[in-house]
Amino acid sequence: MIDIVIFGAPGAGKGTQAKLLAEKYDFLHISTGDLLRQEVELGTPMGQRAQAIMNRGDLVGDDIVVPLLDRALQKRSTAPNPDSLIDPWDRERHGAPHRPEGSIIDGFPRTVSQAQTLEFMFRKLQRRIDLVVAIDVPRDELVRRIHERAAISGRADDTEEVIRHRLDLYDEQTKPVLDYYRVSGLLMTVDGSEQIADTNYRIGLAIEARMK
């Protein structure tokens, strides 16, 4: 089993790559963004608090996102739920319960403190992070991609002002996480400005090397 964190600025394509990799290598994909949006759609108190924060382009606080992620990891490690809305551990395959070969976490951590929290959560499960993939894309290209996505999705957090704010936050708060993982020897950086398939291929090579 291998556990991976995929990392990148808004618009870098980490969600797209995480989904492709999860399908290709039979990984569980846990997206904190999806977890938060699910809470918003369900109208939970946590979702209502998160929605206002996300609409401003701010980072959702640890008091909201950490319990959601911890619950997702615990749920899929100890009590699989085949009816889960997000990549269930359990599904029928040839009449037998199935567990993915590993996990890929998308959207967390975004601060060094969250990176330390994630390590603690994995230790509780007697697991560890094996690889951190950082997708690097020039800022102008990030802005162009997010504008393109906004035209399709209509997401409230994809306005010009919010886009710039989110990218500034990434530079200020999230990039230091790269240094944290670089020191640990877990970090691999890939060029995300290439075609999706090319980026996916490069990440796949790193995953297969760790699997060996």
**Where exactly are the structural domains of the chain?**
2-211
With a cut of 50, say whether residue 90 has pLDDT above it: no
**R_g of the chain, CA atoms, integer Å:** 17
Span between the terminal Cα atoms of the chain, in Å: 11
With a cut of 50, say whether residue 173 has pLDDT above it: yes
Task: Give the integer Cα–Cα distance in Å for 77 and 147.
Answer: 37
**What topology does CATH give the domain 2-211?**
Rossmann fold (3.40.50)
CA dist list (Å): 33 to 40, 64, 106, 195, 206 = 11, 12, 8, 23, 25
Task: Give the integer Cα–Cα distance in Å for 34 and 14.
Answer: 13
Which position has the higher pLDDT, 144 or 159? Answer: 144
- Report the share of the chain in percent with pLDDT over 70: 85
Each residue's pLDDT tens digit, 102-111: 899 999 998 9
Which position has the higher pLDDT, 75 or 143? Answer: 143
- In sequence order, what are the beta bridge partners of 104? 4, 29
Strands 131-136 and 187-191: parallel
Tokens of 83: 């009816």
With a cut of 80, say whether residue 92 has pLDDT above it: no
